[in-house]
Amino acid sequence: MNAPRLLVTGGAGFIGGAIVTAALEHGWSVRVLDSLRSDVHGALPLVDPRVDVIVGDVTDPGVVAVALREIDLVCHQAAKVGLGVDFSDAPDYVRSNEVGTAVLLAAMTAAGIDRLVLASSMVVYGEGSFRGSRGPARPGPRRAADLTAGVYDPVDEVTGERLEPALTTEEDPLDPRNVYAATKLAQEYLASAWARATGGRVAALRYHNVYGPGMPQNTPYAGVASLFRSALERGEAPRVFEDGAQRRDFVHVADIASANLAALDWTGVSPASTFRAFNVGSGTVHTIGDLAEALSRASGGPDPVVTGEFRLGDVRHITASSERIRVELGWSPTVTFERGVAEFATAPLRAAVRR
């Protein structure tokens, strides 16, 4: 049997690059479509010479049609990520994430390609799941006045009691609370509509906090792991917002790559199941403060500074149950937090982006 022919959109990026490496190690034939945007790539990334690279934007139908020639499977990683600078970023998020996905899906239909893995995100949930004395709870958006007063944890609006965070499952309500989150959920809806219309199969992977070697540095769109690591690279203390007790699931990029390969082999849980979402996390809960402290300790850098600052679009706690992907796809993470952070503390980062 011939090796699968895989297209990875955004394949020159942090996560896309890890997926490309994993696919090559499995003997797959890989093509990359990447725009090489300067606000993502500080310098031209190194791409394995075995990879067929097409430089172009996923919103360009002509370029996408060329990229899909003789392709069997598509792994869609191309997206504008992060919370953004302010709402003026909204048109670029919508164009990059929503329009780009629509163009890709239309071109896949024309090319007769019926299998897609979509990079989604934990941000589609908004706040994670909580429990109180009255049972499961889904708190509303946090208020600026509470955050300014140092009241960070959600409370039951009836009893006033502090809610206890719980693991979020794929069946929990979706509640995107910023522009990026709204566009990630829109990508899922577009992919689900495509699957129903064409009979295609989509696995949407809701990544949790991804970190690892090759993360971009010094970009306003980077995740917290990259921001902490970049600060330490400059000899500065990581700056931790709020009180540092925000709960997250930090998952290594190598595990994200293996989850994508497992999802590309997914055939659906029933003939009618053409779209399926999967949480992808490490299965262990740590705080943002834990990450900052571990990185500082492993790199021999200055201790983190807890600032009390906040961003209104951030959520307090979001950690996932990854039971579905373990059971249905047979996937499990292999990189522990301790090993992954120790490696990441001194691993090379991508070149700083141009401002």
Catalytic residue list contains 180: yes
Identity (one letter) of the amino acid at 222? Answer: A
Whether 280 and 209 have beta carbons less than 8 Å apart is answered as no
**Sign of the CA dihedral with 212 first, then 228, 230, and 41 last:** positive
Q: What are the structure tokens assigned to 32, written together?
A: 């990359």
Pure H helices in 143-299: 144-148, 179-198, 224-233, 253-264, 288-299
Q: Using CA atoms, how far apart are residues 308 and 40, in angstroms rounded to an integer?
A: 28
- What does 276-318 look like in DSSP terms, one character per residue? EEEEE--S--EEHHHHHHHHHHHHT-PPPEE-----TT--S--
Of the residues 125, 152, 180, 211, only one is catalytic, namely 180
Give the helix, strand, coil percentages of the chain, each rounded to 5.
35, 20, 45
The residues pairing with 74 across neighbouring beta strands, listed in sequence order, are: 7, 116
How many Å apart are CA 236 and CA 301, to the nearest integer?
8
What residues are annotated to the active site?
180
